[in-house]
Amino acid sequence: MDKIGQLIESGFFGGIVIAATFSGAAVFLYLIYRLIKFLQPKEVRQEEQRILSHRFYKVSGRGRVSYLILCLEEALLFYGQDFSAWERILRELWSVTSRSEGDWIGTWLDSVGELLSDRILTTAPPFSDDIREIRDLYTRFGTKMILVNALMENAYTMVCEWSPDTVAHNPDSLHFIDEAEEMMEKWGVPLPADEAVRFLLTQKDFSLGKPFDGLRLSHLSKES
């Protein structure tokens, strides 16, 4: 019994030593991490903090793209556009929030890619009446198409660069949102309404996120 007691006692104290060792290693690694962070250039630390504090940092890929589509709609509204003329384009864009079957990303990129102005305006002759109408729409919009095209390109490129295998909040696409807001301000166009933005901020996910009915946020649903 004495030997058994000694074994238990030695095992107990051995466990304490091991725990202390691992605890010390954890503290050591934490101190190394803090040292590395401290030695980073101030600009790097500031940029990292800016990303972490970005209001869309934890928002899903679908939510981020939706914000860019809202910016596009605000531009159309600001310039007094007839939303029925833009309906096909907007519906294709908003489908990014609801698609989920098969290679839905590839399907969305194909359908939206065909509607980008550089593709539409260089298609000669247009393959269909729909494309011809969209080309005429873009042409009539004149120089204001610069802003609209930039917003569409940002949304398209964000999805193009987003991987469904992303396992952490992707900070890379946040600059598309920052660019959009800077362009909106430069052109004097108001940003999307707070109510719609608040909904998007609840769409939190480390990757593309779950599907949702984004079309209900669109001015299309308000005009129908």
Query: Is the same domain home to 81 and 181?
Result: yes
Q: Does residue 164 fall inside a structural domain?
A: yes
Query: Is the same domain home to 81 and 24?
Result: no
Query: Is the same domain home to 24 and 71?
Result: no
Query: Is the same domain home to 137 and 180?
Result: yes
In this structure, are residues 137 and 86 in contact, taking their beta carbons and an 8 Å threshold?
A: yes
Residues 6 or more apart whose Cβ sits within 8 Å of residue 211 = 62, 97, 98, 99, 100
> Which pLDDT tens digit goes with each residue over 148-205?
999 999 999 999 887 666 655 677 788 899 999 999 999 999 999 899 999 999 999 8
pLDDT on residue 34: 55
pLDDT on residue 166: 61
Q: Does residue 48 fall inside a structural domain?
A: no
Query: Is the same domain home to 66 and 32?
Result: no
Query: Is the same domain home to 117 and 209?
Result: yes
Query: Is the same domain home to 87 and 162?
Result: yes
pLDDT on residue 35: 47
pLDDT on residue 53: 62
3-31 mean pLDDT:
49
The phi-psi region of residue 109 (left if phi > 0; otherwise alpha if psi is between -120 and 50; otherwise beta) is alpha
Query: Is the same domain home to 110 and 199?
Result: yes
Q: Does residue 44 fall inside a structural domain?
A: no
pLDDT on residue 103: 84
> Which pLDDT tens digit goes with each residue over 43-87?
655 555 656 667 888 899 999 999 999 999 999 999 999 999 999
pLDDT on residue 5: 47
Query: Is the same domain home to 18 and 75?
Result: no
Query: Is the same domain home to 203 and 111?
Result: yes
Q: Does residue 103 fall inside a structural domain?
A: yes
**Identity of residue 9:** E
Total Cβ atoms within 10 A of residue 74:
19
Question: Does the structure show a pLDDT above 60 at 38?
Answer: no
Q: Does residue 219 fall inside a structural domain?
A: yes
Q: Does residue 54 fall inside a structural domain?
A: no
Q: Does residue 53 fall inside a structural domain?
A: no
In this structure, are residues 153 and 113 in contact, taking their beta carbons and an 8 Å threshold?
A: no
pLDDT on residue 208: 86
Q: Does residue 199 fall inside a structural domain?
A: yes
Overall number of domains in the chain:
2
Question: Does the structure show a pLDDT above 50 at 9?
Answer: no
15-33 mean pLDDT:
51
> Which pLDDT tens digit goes with each residue over 182-196?
999 999 999 998 999
Question: Cα–Cα distance between 144 and 133 in angstroms, integer?
Answer: 18
Query: Is the same domain home to 141 and 98?
Result: yes
Query: Is the same domain home to 142 and 193?
Result: yes
Total Cβ atoms within 10 A of residue 189:
20
Range of the domain at 7: 2-39
To the nearest whole percent, how much of the chain has pLDDT over 70? 70
Q: CB-based burial of residue 126 (10 Å sphere; 0-12 exposed, 13-18 middle, 19+ buried)?
A: middle
